Amino acid sequence: MGVSVTLSTEPGPQPTIVSLLTRDRWVEICRIVAVAIVALLFQQHSVPALVLWIAVAVGLYPLVKTGLRELFRERKIGTAIFITLATLIAVLGGEAVAGSVLMIIILIAEFIAELNTDRARASIKGLIGSVPQTATVRTDNQERAVPISGLQIDDIVLVRAGEKLPVDGVIVGGSGSINEAPITGESVPKDKANGAGVFAGTVLESGAIDVKTERVGSDTMFARIAKLVEEAEDSQAPVQRLADRVAAWLIPVVLVFLVAVYLLTRDIRKIVTLMIFTSPAELGLATPMVMIAAIARAARSGILVKGGVYLELLSKVDTVVFDKTGTLTTGQPAVLQVESLDPAVSSQEVLRAAAAADRRSGHPIAKAVVEHAIQSGLELPEPSSFEVLRGRGIRAVIEDKPVLVGNEALMAENGITAPSSSGSPNETLVYVAVESRVIGRIHVADTMRPGAREVIAGLRASGVKRVIMLTGDNRATAEAIAAQTGIDEARSELLPEAKVACIAELQAQKHIVAMVGDGINDAPALAKADVGIAMGAAGTQAAIEAADIALMGDDLSKIVVGRTIARKAYRTIQENLIVGVGVVHVLGIIAALLGWIGPIQAAVLHLGPDILVFLNSIKLLRMRL
């Protein structure tokens, strides 16, 4: 079965205000306009007071509905009830026109805020992209159009240059250059051929490929990313929860304050004016919009943040802990030398014994040994027993002989003396022992990940005070890698439990710790850290589950980018709270108490903080990194 996908290759358009004007939105616009017209006619004595009262009731309906829902379901007096009271007090106090104008302007402010929040949410789909929704299925030399939901696992999908991939799968024919920016955030296309994994939502820029389908629809990596980003929007950061709590107790305090002012002044106009500036409406806008914009911006860069809490914590991190293998290094070690330590045993026999024991292991070093043995033309026997010794190596039985393959600590724990070596500190020595006797060792070296040193420097420049590397490798190797990257401290020969203990120790010292690892072997340490960051999660769904933040590509610089976005978001929230809410409202309250402004002027000025908060928040979507 073959499938040919035809679609536009242009990125999804950014949502416009017009595109978000649903039927309910148009009803709201008509309501606001109708109330405004009636208020204008009443001011010109063209309609009676009864008509104005009806118009006010129509205008207040959505506010009353929202306010009562907050009161009875959430047990809180919200902004909606606050504004309703202000409007009714103004109308009942003889300031009917002022009350109407106040309500109209507040309705406009709320409408703009909700519309722009919807726009920020809709921007996520535009930033991430989209996947094809239709396909052409070819069976028995016949083609028919079917929806993507009709595809089955193991279908062969035909993708041509300029088309988006509709499924996750493996290339089984052809080759091409694929832009994986929607998944990894990296705009440089990757050349891929037979056996390479590919993702839905990515673009084949050149060539033609046949893809064997592995995941479709909601199971694809693209769909998982979109779902997690949407869920992240609803996860409140501590500063956001604090703002909600402040708003909850602020309204009762403000009401007491207003009653006291009225008892002293008996001035309804002043009370209405003060109610406008003591409304906590912007307090509720100050953080959610920032978090939505920041999470969307991070997703565009290939950084999946699971919630505002992790974004805020990342901005406050003062200690970053790195795993070595697969993080600071590529995790693809190569065998440099096979050394025999027994005159009666050849280097080929050493390699054969080690590879036979390692063939069932998924560790990168074990894979390198096995691959080197296969390339050397060796036939590897199947072990009759096999056991992974975490942080140490492998215990196996090969051709009825007990074999140990691992580090010096493994040899020592089994009472075997391992000869010292004068090899390079960058090398990892894998000892091979047969029947409790060392017969040789294998020199393996991992390659440094490009830009590692610059990333460490970038983290320090962003305010990180301490950078530590944790590894199961020997001390010499760890210190050599630390020297190359500029890391402060390297802790070596650690088991997974020891890595967790190191994180706990740092947290006990009141550090806010981020752990960067591969998301699988380092899952316990990632879970223990304040912020767990998984590298290269695009190919591993388990990595996404293990981490609080997932870097979809293997680019270390994304850590600095994520930190930059987090710090900018937190600073933006502070700006919104201090300037957009604090300063403007304090000045407004002072002006109202001094009698410099009345209800209508206050209502007009009330739009300022709304617009300021929105513009300050939405800039995160367009920030340059």
Handedness of CA 597, 602, 604, 609 (dihedral sign): positive
- 514-525: burial string, b at 16+ Cβ within 10 Å, e else: bbbbbbbbbbbb
**Which of 128-132, 256-260, 460-464, 575-579 shows the lowest per-residue confidence on average (mean pLDDT)?**
128-132
Residue type for 195, please? G
What pLDDT does 187 receive?
60
Of the pLDDT bands very low, low, confident and very high (cuts 50, 70, 90), residue 76 is low
What pLDDT does 129 receive?
54
Q: Burial of 190 by CB count in 10 Å (0-12 exposed, 13-18 middle, 19+ buried)? A: middle
**Which of 305-314, 353-362, 372-381, 554-563 shows the lowest per-residue confidence on average (mean pLDDT)?**
305-314
pLDDT tops 80 at residue 463: yes
pLDDT tops 80 at residue 183: no
For the record, the structure tokens of 554 come out as: 């293997």
Specify the residue for token string 């007090």. 89
Task: Look at the pTM and tell me if it is higher than 0.85.
Answer: no
Residue type for 255, please? L
Phi, psi (degrees; rounded to nearest 5) at 479: -70, -35
pLDDT tops 60 at residue 14: no
Alpha-carbon distance values, 315 to 570, 606, 613 (Å)? 7, 31, 20
What pLDDT does 435 receive?
93
List pLDDT tens digits, range 481-510: 888 889 989 998 887 788 889 999 999 999
| Between 40 and 350, residue with greater pLDDT | 350
- Decide if 298 contacts 185 (C-beta within 8 A): no
Q: Coil, helix or strand for 150?
A: helix
What pLDDT does 63 receive?
81
Per-range mean pLDDT, top range of 107-116, 380-389, 522-531, 601-610: 380-389
| Between 101 and 237, residue with greater pLDDT | 101
pLDDT tops 90 at residue 328: no
Percent of the chain with pLDDT over 90: 21
Number of C-alpha atoms within 13 angstroms, CB side, residue 207?
Answer: 20
Q: What is the mean pLDDT of the chain?
A: 80
Whole-number Å distance between alpha carbons of 86 and 34: 20
Of the pLDDT bands very low, low, confident and very high (cuts 50, 70, 90), residue 156 is confident
Q: Which residues are catalytic?
A: 323
Of the pLDDT bands very low, low, confident and very high (cuts 50, 70, 90), residue 12 is very low
Whole-number Å distance between alpha carbons of 109 and 231: 27
What pLDDT does 456 receive?
94
Per-range mean pLDDT, top range of 78-92, 274-288, 550-564: 550-564
What pLDDT does 374 receive?
93
pLDDT tops 90 at residue 349: yes
What pLDDT does 4 receive?
35
Percent of the chain with pLDDT over 70: 80
Phi, psi (degrees; rounded to nearest 5) at 131: -120, 155
pLDDT tops 70 at residue 343: yes
pLDDT tops 80 at residue 44: yes
Q: Coil, helix or strand for 361?
A: coil
What pLDDT does 8 receive?
30
pLDDT tops 90 at residue 370: yes
What pLDDT does 487 receive?
92
Does 334-445 carry CATH code 3.40.1110.10?
Answer: yes
Whole-number Å distance between alpha carbons of 329 and 319: 20
**130-216 fold:** 2.70.150
Q: Burial of 391 by CB count in 10 Å (0-12 exposed, 13-18 middle, 19+ buried)? A: buried
- Bridge partners (DSSP) of residue 1 are none
The length of the chain, given as a count of residues: 625
pLDDT tops 60 at residue 458: yes
pLDDT tops 90 at residue 320: yes
What pLDDT does 514 receive?
94
Whole-number Å distance between alpha carbons of 533 and 178: 26
Strands (E), 216-290: none
List pLDDT tens digits, range 554-586: 788 899 999 999 999 888 888 887 776 677 778
Whole-number Å distance between alpha carbons of 588 and 603: 10
Q: Coil, helix or strand for 610?
A: helix
Of the pLDDT bands very low, low, confident and very high (cuts 50, 70, 90), residue 537 is low
What pLDDT does 460 receive?
93
For the record, the structure tokens of 610 come out as: 């709304």
Whole-number Å distance between alpha carbons of 513 and 40: 59
| Between 293 and 482, residue with greater pLDDT | 482
Query: Residue 501 CB: number of other CB atoms within 10 A?
Result: 14
pLDDT tops 70 at residue 453: yes
- Decide if 337 contacts 442 (C-beta within 8 A): yes
What pLDDT does 322 receive?
93
Of the pLDDT bands very low, low, confident and very high (cuts 50, 70, 90), residue 5 is very low
pLDDT tops 50 at residue 292: yes
Q: Coil, helix or strand for 328?
A: helix
Whole-number Å distance between alpha carbons of 403 and 87: 84
| Between 296 and 372, residue with greater pLDDT | 372
**Which of 49-53, 195-199, 420-424, 444-448 shows the lowest per-residue confidence on average (mean pLDDT)?**
420-424
Domain spans, the chain = 130-216, 334-445
Alpha-carbon distance values, 560 to 40, 452, 555 (Å)? 55, 11, 10
pLDDT tops 90 at residue 454: yes
